[in-house]
Amino acid sequence: MSLSSKMSDILYLLFSKIINLYYRLENNSKSKLCIIGSKSKLYQEAKVINLQNNPSKIVIGNNSHIRGTLLIYPYGDGISIGDNSFVGEGSIIRAANKIEIGNDVLIAHNVTIIDTDSHELDAGERAESFKKMLKEGHPKQPGNVESKPIFIKDNVWISYNVGILKGVTIGEGAIVGAGSMVTKDVPAWTVVAGNPAHILKSNSGGGYNIDY
């Protein structure tokens, strides 16, 4: 092996070690922003944005795997995720009020779950709040921005590119089809899809029967 080849191998190994160290340090930093259970993992692409700087406001149970973004506002009760659950890459969970996700929940990629309107409905008030935020940072209180908690029960499967809006409860065992916009409660053990999401199938005897 030539000297140049040996140097290339050495540089490659050194670079790999530096990159691995960087990701370990980054993961440790993310872990300090939440409480994370045994065998759970925040992957390289995961983000944790804790604007309350209170780890107890983002709680992840045991053996859950997070590839998306968890964000809590400077107010509210935060985010809790149960055991054996998954949040896919590109998914964003934003809590200004409270978002509770149960056990054995599968959330695919590019899902948005948000419990707040994010801005005021009045145009003038919204414009002034935006300008104030640019100067002073994110507001410490919700003001006139409405929010309502979201509850996602055990054994739910949420497919890709789904939106879930404030005040929604998704019942146990429900399935939300790809590309759906969920604006109201989803009964347990049903399959919903569409914009707005509506029931396609309901559970009967352990299976899903069409119920248009």
Predicted confidence (pLDDT) per residue in 169-203, tens digit = 999 999 999 999 999 999 999 999 999 999 998 87
CA angle 176, 66, 81 (to 5 degrees): 70
- Burial of 74 from C-beta contacts in 10 A (0-12 / 13-18 / 19+): middle
In this predicted structure, the answer to whether residue 68 has a pLDDT above a threshold of 50 is yes
Maximum pairwise Cα distance, the chain: 71
Contact between 199 and 174 (Cβ < 8 Å):
no
| Tokens of residue 169, six digits | 């409860």
| Tokens of residue 35, six digits | 């409480």
Quote the mean pLDDT of the chain.
88
76 phi and psi, to 5 degrees? 100, 175
**Residues forming the active site:** 119
C-alpha–C-alpha distance, residues 111 and 142, integer Å:
24
C-alpha dist (Å) from residue 210 to 165, 181, 191: 25, 20, 9
C-alpha–C-alpha distance, residues 176 and 107, integer Å:
10
In this predicted structure, the answer to whether residue 42 has a pLDDT above a threshold of 50 is yes
Sequence-ordered list of residues with C-beta below 8 angstroms from that of 30, at least 6 positions apart, any chain: 42, 46, 47, 48
pLDDT class of 30 with cuts at 50, 70, 90: confident
Query: How many C-beta atoms surround the C-beta of residue 149 within 10 A?
Result: 17
pLDDT class of 15 with cuts at 50, 70, 90: low
In this predicted structure, the answer to whether residue 106 has a pLDDT above a threshold of 60 is yes
Q: Across-strand partners of 86? A: 65, 106
